[in-house]
């Protein structure tokens, strides 16, 4: 069979050997899961002998994956696609890029991962013995999200095959073996992927031009809520930086405005964020991403008010800027006097297949005041004995929010409960799809 670079050969009897090596695999960022360890067993098949100038085919068969498919989700037929790298050594140096088809039987929960064979071609350009050694590889799963798990050796790996190359009229190029256009000596750190990668929000600082929040507002009030008959109170646009919990982006920035409209003794709040506040953590369908925020109360009042926005109306592409919809809620004052409203914790909820993953983004430092209101205490208002202090997102009992819910209670970071919730939600949504590996060393890692 003719190859682009010459005659594609398997002329001499093929020889194969199994190689086992310790592997560390990094789940996609959107999963929020820590690196995990496993053992990969690979069989490399290549001709035992060939001549200079020949192009040979090399086959990578994964005899045993580093782990079973976890007991969380069934993988559908033909959703798994592997890619990887073989190191070329001995008489020549370089790499061979390997790729397999998206082809697999259905893989039930808690059963062995079944990966299709990967193939690559190698043009031989110098006589001598050439070794082929398995290196990094990547596994792409197309459903329910397109995600990649990248795996790298954590110890020295033995060659999986050796080709004896004899002179045959081919030209030499100073001992470099050309393999799929890969530069001599280069090594793929995490394999290559032909599908989209769920980098899940690993981009930091995705909103250009945003500035760190902090400090006091240069004019804390846009209007006064008492005595003038005024009903609309536009807030001031303030710059805020957020630090998100994995799998969200490490750091995002946005301009935020809190507006209010008085109705009786309460206020209808509308919170606006700048366009492109964050990058999409994955390819998401319409209706999958929904924002909310805990507006922090200060001055005379204490606690926070929950505001929520509708889900995205258009599909979102991985890595593309996301415009969050306006978030609304109801503020019922719990104290009389001058009360301030500032941006607080922003939460991004991603829902797929009936399962929800929440990504909280806490204000970095302190946010400036966007709006000050002259308030009159209302029965059942925001202030109460459980208030944790000015500007905190931990609201006291009795606070009100849009849709009849309660204002948040307790600190911004609910510690173990939030961590467990994040891991559980992620596991149910993406467990098998991200090809996570056992044994589990820890429930959750740091970003």
- The answer to the question of residue 424 being in a domain is no
Domain co-membership, 157 together with 252: no
pLDDT-based confidence at 385, cuts 50/70/90? very low
- The answer to the question of residue 114 being in a domain is yes
For residue 65, pLDDT beyond 50: yes
For residue 1, pLDDT beyond 80: no
For residue 306, pLDDT beyond 80: yes
Query: DSSP per residue over 31-54, as a string?
Result: G-PPPEEEEEEEEEEEESEEETT-
Euclidean distance between CA atoms 87 and 90, whole angstroms:
10
Domain co-membership, 268 together with 160: no
- The answer to the question of residue 225 being in a domain is no
- The answer to the question of residue 211 being in a domain is no
**Do strands 6-9 and 55-64 pair parallel, antiparallel, or not at all (unpaired)?**
parallel
**How many helices (H) and strands (E) are present in the chain, helices listed first?**
1, 25
Rounded average pLDDT over 435-441 = 35
Domain co-membership, 146 together with 256: no
Rounded average pLDDT over 389-401 = 34
pLDDT-based confidence at 357, cuts 50/70/90? confident
Better pLDDT: 235 or 25: 235
Cβ contact 257:272 at 8 Å:
yes
| Mean of per-residue pLDDT scores for the chain | 72
- Check residue 30 and give its pLDDT: 65
Question: pLDDT digits over 114-171, tens only?
Answer: 899 999 999 999 999 999 999 999 888 877 667 788 889 999 999 999 999 999 754 4
Rounded average pLDDT over 310-336 = 91
Euclidean distance between CA atoms 200 and 208, whole angstroms:
19
- The answer to the question of residue 217 being in a domain is no
Better pLDDT: 260 or 188: 260
Domain co-membership, 157 together with 292: no
Structure tokens at 263: 């109705």
How many other C-beta atoms are found inside a 10 Å radius of the C-beta of residue 423? Answer: 17
* Domain ranges, residue 63: 2-166
Global pTM reads 0.44
3-state secondary structure of 402: helix
Domain co-membership, 253 together with 384: yes
Domain co-membership, 404 together with 263: yes
Alpha carbon distances (Å) from 403 to 21, 255, 330, 331? 55, 25, 8, 12
The residue among 146, 166, 186 that closes a domain is 166
The residue among 166, 201, 216 that closes a domain is 166
- The answer to the question of residue 419 being in a domain is no
pLDDT-based confidence at 70, cuts 50/70/90? low
**Do strands 238-244 and 252-263 pair parallel, antiparallel, or not at all (unpaired)?**
antiparallel
Domain co-membership, 251 together with 138: no
Instruction: Give the chain's domain count.
Output: 2
- The answer to the question of residue 100 being in a domain is yes
CATH code (residue 145): 2.60.40
- The answer to the question of residue 157 being in a domain is yes
The residue among 143, 166, 189 that closes a domain is 166
Better pLDDT: 301 or 446: 301
Cβ contact 309:327 at 8 Å:
yes
- Check residue 169 and give its pLDDT: 53
Rounded average pLDDT over 384-405 = 33
């Amino acid at each position: 069979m003719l190859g682009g670079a010459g005659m594609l050969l398997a002329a001499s009897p093929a020889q194969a050997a199994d190689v086992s090596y310790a592997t560390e695999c990094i789940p996609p960022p959107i999963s929020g899961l820590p690196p995990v360890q496993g053992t990969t067993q690979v069989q490399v098949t290549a001709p035992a002998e060939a001549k200079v100038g020949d192009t040979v085919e090399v086959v990578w068969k994964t005899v045993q994956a580093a782990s079973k498919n976890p007991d969380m989700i069934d993988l559908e037929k033909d959703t798994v696609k592997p890619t990887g790298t073989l190191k070329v050594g001995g008489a020549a140096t370089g790499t061979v890029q390997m790729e397999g088809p998206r082809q697999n039987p259905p893989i039930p929960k808690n059963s062995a991962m079944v990966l299709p064979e990967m193939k690559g071609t190698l043009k031989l350009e110098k006589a001598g013995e050439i070794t082929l050694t398995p290196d990094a590889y990547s596994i792409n799963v197309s459903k329910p999200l397109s995600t990649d798990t990248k795996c790298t050796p954590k110890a020295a790996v033995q060659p999986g095959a050796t080709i004896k190359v004899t002179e045959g009229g081919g030209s030499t190029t100073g001992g470099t073996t050309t393999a799929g256009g890969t530069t001599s000596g280069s090594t793929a750190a995490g394999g290559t992927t032909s599908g989209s990668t769920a980098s899940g929000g690993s981009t930091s600082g995705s909103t250009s031009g945003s500035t760190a929040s902090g400090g006091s507002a240069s004019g804390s009030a846009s209007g006064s809520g008492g005595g003038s008959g005024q009903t609309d109170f536009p807030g001031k646009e303030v710059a805020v930086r957020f630090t998100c919990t994995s799998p969200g982006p490490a750091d995002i920035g946005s301009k935020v405005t809190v507006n209010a409209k008085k109705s009786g003794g309460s206020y209808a709040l509308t919170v606006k964020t700048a366009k492109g506040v964050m990058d999409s953590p994955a390819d998401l369908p319409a209706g999958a991403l929904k924002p909310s925020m805990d507006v922090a109360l200060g001055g005379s009042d204490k606690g926070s008010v929950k505001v929520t926005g509708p889900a995205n109306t258009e599909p979102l592409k991985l890595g593309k800027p996301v415009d969050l919809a306006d978030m609304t809620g109801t503020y019922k004052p719990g104290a009389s006097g001058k009360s301030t409203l500032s941006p607080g914790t922003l939460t991004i909820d991603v829902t797929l297949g009936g399962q929800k993953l929440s990504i909280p983004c806490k204000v970095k430092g302190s946010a400036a005041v966007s709006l000050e209101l002259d308030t009159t205490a209302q029965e059942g208002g925001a202030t109460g004995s459980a208030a944790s202090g000015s500007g905190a997102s931990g609201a006291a009992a009795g606070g009100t929010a849009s849709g009849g819910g309660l204002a948040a209670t307790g600190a911004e970071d609910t510690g173990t409960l939030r961590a467990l919730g994040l891991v559980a939600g992620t596991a149910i949504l993406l467990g098998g799809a991200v090809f996570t590996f056992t044994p589990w060393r820890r429930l959750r890692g740091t970003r």
